[in-house]
Amino acid sequence: MFGLYETAFGALTWGNILMLAIGSLLIYLGIGKKMEPFLLVPIGFGIFAVNLPLGGLMVYSPEGLPSEVPTLSEMVKAVGEGKVGLLNVVYAYGIQTEVIPLLIFLCLGALTDFAPTIARPISFLFGATAQLGIFVAFLIAYLSGMFTLNEAACVGIIGGSDGPPTVYLTAALAPQLLGPITLVAYSYMALVPIIQPPIIKLLTNKKERAIYMKPQVRKVSKLETILFPIIVFLISALLVPKSVPLIGMFMFGNLLKASGVTDRLAQSAGGAFIDVLTFLLGIMVGALMPAEVFLKSQTLAMVGLALVAFAFSTIGGLLGAKFANLFLKEKINPMIGAAGVSAIPMSARVVQRMGQQANPRNFLLMHAMGPNMAGAIGTSVVAGILLGMLK
Amino acid sequence: MIDWNLVAKITGGGFGVAILVLLILALVTWLVGLGLQRIPAKSKEKSVKDSR
C-alpha cells in the first residue's frame, strides 16, 4: 500500500554505501573544516545524487557512461520517461561542450590581478618549470600501463594545480575520468599547505629560505595591466592555438577588470555568475562518481600520482628559482619558485609563512603571487600543448 | 605496446615548448614594461626642459 517495493534499499550496493560515506566526508570537510567549501559541498551532494539508486537525477548507461542526451526536441520526452535526468542535461550542455570550465576561467580572470607577474616577468620562468610535475606524472601514469595516453595526460595535468584547465582537458581527452580526476585535483589543492613545506625544506637550506626580498614590487601602470591580457592572449594563440579557449577566456575576464571601464561586467563575472557556475560544476563532478566508476584501482593510482605531480611541480618551481639565482645580481628567495604551482593563493601563502619563519623581516606574499599567476597561465598553455598533441 | 617516440615527444617536447612559450611571454612583458616606464620618464624630462 505504501509502495515499499519502490524504495531504493533493494538496489543499494556496498559500493553505493561507501560512496555515500565519501560524499558525507566531503560535505563534512567543506562545512566542518572549511576546506574548499564552494566545491566540496556540491561535490559531496552530487555523489549522493548518483549513489542513491533509482533517483534519476543522473542516469548512466550499462557501460558506466552518462546516458546520451537526445536532440533538444526529444529531450523533454526523454526526461519525462526517466531515460535522462536533470544532471545528464547539465553534463551534456555544460561539461561535454566544455562551456562551464571555460566560463569559470573567464570569471577567475576577472578576479585576478596580474600586477605581481608584470612587475617581475621572470615569474614566468618559475611558472614554467613548475609544470614539471605534469610531465613526470604523465610519464609514470602511462608507463604503469593503467592509463591510456589520453588518460595519463589528464592525470598529469593535476600537477598544474589549476581546476578549469584540469576539467577542460579531461572533458576533452578522457571524460570517463572527469569525476575522480577533478575530485583528486581539488582535494590536493586544499592539501598544498601540507604537501609543499617538507619538499621546500628538503631542497633549500635555512640561508636560502632567509634571503630577504624588499617588500615592494615595482608599481605597475594601468596601461601595462591593460596590455598584459591582450599580449598574453595574442602570443599564446599564435604559439599554442589549442590553448586559445582557456587562455582566451582567462585573459578576456582579466581585460574586463583591467580596462577599468567594464567594472560592472567584471563584478558580475566575479560575483554571482562564478557562484552559479561553481555549484553547477561541483554537483556535476560529484554526479560523475557512481560507485562503479569511482571505486576502481585507477582512482587509487590517481591519488598516488597526483601526489607525485604536486611534489615534482614544487621541485620544478624551486629549481627554476635556484637556476635564476645563478644569474641574478640581487638574489631572490628560491621559495617563491614553489608558488609556480598555481593553487592560487595557497602556495603563495605557504611561501609567505615559511619565509617569515626563516626571516621575520621577510614579506614574500606579493613576490610569490607573480609565479602563482604565471603558473595558472603555464597550466593553460600545457593543456593546449597536450590537446594539440593528443586530440 | 608503449610508443616511446610519442612519449618522448610529449614529455620532452611538451615541457620544452611550455618553457619556451612562457619565456617568450616573460621577455615580451619585460620589454613592454621597460618601454612604458621610459615613456613617462622621457616626457617628464621634456616638460622640465620646456619649463626652463
Q: A150 pLDDT band (50/70/90 cuts)?
A: very high
Chain CA centroid to CA A258, Å: 23
Q: B-chain residues within 8 Å CB-CB of A239?
A: 17, 20-21, 24
Any B CB within 8 A of A127 CB: yes
- The cell numbers describing A116, all together, are 605581481
Query: How much is the pLDDT for A186?
Result: 84
Q: A-chain residues within 8 Å CB-CB of B37?
A: 221
- The cell numbers describing A278, all together, are 561553481
Reduce the DSSP state of residue A69 to 3 states and report it: coil
Q: A-chain residues within 8 Å CB-CB of B19?
A: 125, 128-129, 131
Q: Which residue has the cell 580596462?
A: A259
Task: Please answer yes or no on whether B18 and A117 come within 8 Å at the CB atom.
Answer: no
Q: A1 pLDDT band (50/70/90 cuts)?
A: very low
pLDDT at A258 over 80: yes
pLDDT digits (tens, 9 = 90+) for A133-148: 999 999 999 999 999 9
Q: A-chain residues within 8 Å CB-CB of B8?
A: none
pLDDT at A85 over 90: no
Residue A101 CB-density burial (10 A; 0-12 exposed, 13-18 middle, 19+ buried): buried
Answer whether A343's CB lies under 8 Å from A189's CB. Answer: yes
Answer whether A243's CB lies under 8 Å from A377's CB. Answer: no
Query: How much is the pLDDT for A137?
Result: 96
Query: How much is the pLDDT for B52?
Result: 63
Task: Using only the alpha carbons of chain A, give its radius of gyration.
Answer: 22
Q: What is the mean pLDDT of residues B18-40?
A: 93
Q: How high is the mean pLDDT of chain A? A: 90
Within 10 angstroms of residue A35's Cβ, the number of other Cβ atoms is 17
Answer whether A266's CB lies under 8 Å from A28's CB. Answer: no
Nearest CA in chain B to A241: B21
Query: How much is the pLDDT for A212?
Result: 93
pLDDT digits (tens, 9 = 90+) for A23-81: 999 999 989 988 878 888 999 999 998 888 877 788 888 777 788 877 777 887 888 88
Return the closest-CA partner of residue A116 out of A219, A231, A256. Answer: A219
Share of chain A above pLDDT 90, in %: 62
Within 10 angstroms of residue A16's Cβ, the number of other Cβ atoms is 21
Domain for residue A231, yes or no?
A: yes
Domain for residue A32, yes or no?
A: no
Q: What is the mean pLDDT of residues B21-46?
A: 87
Nearest CB to A125; choose among B3, B17, B22: B22
Query: What type of residue is A156?
Result: G
Task: Please answer yes or no on whether B26 and A123 come within 8 Å at the CB atom.
Answer: yes
Query: How much is the pLDDT for A265?
Result: 93
ipTM computed for the complex:
0.86
Any A CB within 8 A of B19 CB: yes
Nearest CA in chain B to A148: B2
Chain CA centroid to CA A139, Å: 20
- Enclosing domain of residue A155: 100-390
Q: Which residue has the cell 537525477?
A: A57
Task: Please answer yes or no on whether B25 and A143 come within 8 Å at the CB atom.
Answer: no
Nearest CA in chain B to A222: B36
Give B49 to chain A, closest Cα distance, Å: 24
Cis peptide, bond prior to residue A345, ω within 30 of zero: yes
**Most B-contacting residue of A114, A122, A124 (CB-CB within 10 A), to test interface:** A124
Query: How much is the pLDDT for A242?
Result: 93
Q: What is the mean pLDDT of residues A350-373?
A: 93
pLDDT digits (tens, 9 = 90+) for A320-361: 999 999 999 889 999 999 999 987 888 899 999 999 999 999
Task: Please answer yes or no on whether A382 and B7 come within 8 Å at the CB atom.
Answer: no
Task: Please answer yes or no on whether B10 and A127 come within 8 Å at the CB atom.
Answer: no
Q: Looking at per-residue confidence, does A260 or A56 come out higher?
A: A260
Domain count, chain A: 1
Query: What type of residue is A141?
Result: A
Domain for residue A273, yes or no?
A: yes
Instruction: Report the range of poorest mean pLDDT among A66-80, A163-177, A279-293.
Output: A66-80
pLDDT at B19 over 90: yes
Return the closest-CA partner of residue A244 out of A235, A253, A256. Answer: A235
CA dist A224 to A64, A112, A232, A251, B24, Å?
A: 49, 15, 12, 14, 17
For A289, phi and psi rounded to 5 degrees? -125, 60
Domain for residue A79, yes or no?
A: no
Task: Please answer yes or no on whether B22 and A374 come within 8 Å at the CB atom.
Answer: yes
Instruction: Report the range of poorest mean pLDDT among A69-73, A85-89, A259-263, A337-341.
Output: A69-73
